[in-house]
Homo-oligomer: A and B are copies of this chain.
Amino acid sequence: MVVEIFPPYPPELSQTQLSYLLQALTDYSLSHGLTVRPAESFISEKLSPNGALATHAPITLFPSPFPRSCWEAGRAVQKDYNELYARVAGNAEWLKKTMVELSKVDDFTARLYKVHLDVKAEGFVQPLSLGLFRSDYMLHMAAPEGPKTPPVVHQVEFNTIASSFGALSTRVSELHRHLAKMGAYPPDSIIKPENIPVSPALQGLAKGLSVAHKAYGNGGDGRSTAILMIIQPGEKNVFDQRWLEYELLEKHSVQTYRISLADVPKLTDLASSTQALIYSPPHAPNTQIEISTVYFRAGYGPGDYSGEDDWAARTTLERSKAIKCPSVITQLAGAKKIQQVLAMDGIVEGFLADKGVSSQVRGTFAAIHPLDKSPAGIAARKLALEKPDTYVLKPQREGGGNNIYRGDIPGFLKSIPESHWSGYILMELIEPPSLENTIIRNGGLMSGGVVGELGVYGAILWKDGEGEERGKGLKEIVMNEEVGWLLRTKGRESDEGGVAAGFGSVDAVLLVD
């Protein structure tokens, strides 16, 4: 069921208004780096020698209305989320039970966890960890049958690795604000520049990286230091990453290099005495750069590891003295299963001692249940079989797999052995309000019902215990900030009852009271 809470939206445009808006939007995007490399299906790489072409990122024609209170709520809780996940990641002892269990159903988790254990056995040499997190929320109509109930934000997932679109979130909010300012939207519409805040995610994420870089200190043997970004070969979302490099160089005088996991063994080495990560750029092979911070924009899914060499590369990076953004254990803390465990009674409260804080964090949780043989799991199994209409069944695997919705849940569960049920979690379906918008992608327009996901970015640098103390809880938070937000807007498929489907776009919030 879809609830109306926003004024009629978007404004209707004449053909002339649409063409004016479209031209202004396209030109602004293409000149301000709100861009991606065209998909192979749009423009073949053969037509674009040396990557000479860019197209605007998939974007919405209008900023999407978003309740101001919900935007504030999501932002208000981000520093606490940063701390929560830093504390989880810093407590490998606590994570152990879940990781061992999860490893049984998910090879990717098993493999990652092995990297952590292998390096742990050798001893970690770097006490600092950097997290550039993004907590994703949807608007939820807590009582969809009563449209007067104000919406709240419920968390969809928490990203601890490769949180993307930060720079593009800054650019798209600047775009929509500019379009409002220049009068490209009908003057009698609710779209006013002052209600389109500019997301500072580009600046904030770069600041997080620069704080880590500076905390690392000087390189050994007079080496200069730099950040190493681990990227996917052929990345189309390259400008979102490049903006961070530009900001780091221009504002913080920090140099960044980009390499793929496959290039790690060829181009890096560990200094034998300090385990400093030494990078020799292929364009200046006689130069030795000491890497202060490894920033992963790849390595988050099984598809990024094509073989043993890539796993060895990940292990080398984890073993090094460089600050990892994120460390393997921090990446693992972002598992869906952890999200479910944190939702259990008393767990968040154990990590965040302040009752007010933990209750605010818990207030953004969607109901999420195990399907194992614990008492909570057995209760959830009953729900899944008998009252599945407001639930989605999600595999615990990080590598993906299809979600099962509502009435399909009982049949699906009965079709697989009961021993496999614990490989899934049962999550309350989030019921977003009704909204329409137009998404532009590759120059083509698609209009209709949409759902938005608010992502709030956080940057946190913390110090873990050293030696025997490592893995027993974090020691010190060096920096902790909320650094901006993103709205990702996707086509709504009514069959999936509010779960985002169709292709996605970056969008700005239009705050409504």
Contact = CB atoms under 8 A, between A and B. Distances in A.
Contacts of A48: 443
A252 interface: no
Interface in A390-446: 440, 442-445
Nearest to A283: B20
A443 B53 CA distance: 8
Interface in A252-308: 255, 281-285
Interface in A185-211: 186-187
Interface stretch (A2-10, A108-116, A128-136, A241-249): A241-249
A478 B183 CA distance: 31
A410 to B, nearest CB: 45
A239 B38 contact: no
A242 to B, nearest CB: 5
Interface residues of A, number: 53
Interface in A1-43: 14, 16-17, 19-23, 26-28, 30-33, 35, 38, 43
Nearest to A26: B51
Contacts of A21: 283
B50 A53 contact: no
A243 B186 CA distance: 23
B30 A50 contact: no
Contacts of A243: 31
A47 interface: yes
A215 interface: no
Interface string A338-377: 0000000000000000000000000000000000000000
B35 A31 contact: yes
A352 to B, nearest CB: 39
A79 interface: no
Given A33-B31, A239-B31, A23 B51 contact: yes
A378 interface: no
A183 B444 contact: no
A54 interface: yes
A283 B51 contact: no
Contacts of A75: none
B27 A53 contact: no
Contacts of A440: 50, 52
A55 B178 CA distance: 23
A182 interface: yes
A262 to B, nearest CB: 16
B183 A284 contact: yes
A237 to B, nearest CB: 12
A251 interface: no
A48 B181 CA distance: 27
A239 B255 CA distance: 29
A282 B20 contact: yes
Interface of A: 14, 16-17, 19-23, 26-28, 30-33, 35, 38, 43, 47-56, 178, 181-184, 186-187, 238-239, 242-243, 246, 249-250, 255, 281-285, 440, 442-445
29 contacts: A14-B283, A16-B282, A21-B283, A23-B50, A23-B51, A27-B242, A30-B33, A30-B51, A30-B54, A30-B239, A31-B239, A31-B243, A32-B33, A33-B33, A35-B54, A43-B43, A43-B53, A47-B47, A48-B443, A50-B440, A51-B443, A53-B54, A53-B55, A54-B54, A54-B55, A178-B246, A178-B249, A181-B249, A183-B284
Given A28-B246, A51-B443, A52-B442, 12 more contacts: A20-B282, A26-B52, A27-B239, A31-B54, A32-B33, A38-B53, A43-B43, A52-B55, A178-B246, A183-B284, A184-B283, A186-B284
In the A-B complex, the 3 residue pairs with the smallest Cβ-Cβ separation, listed nearest first, are: A52-B443, A31-B33, A49-B443
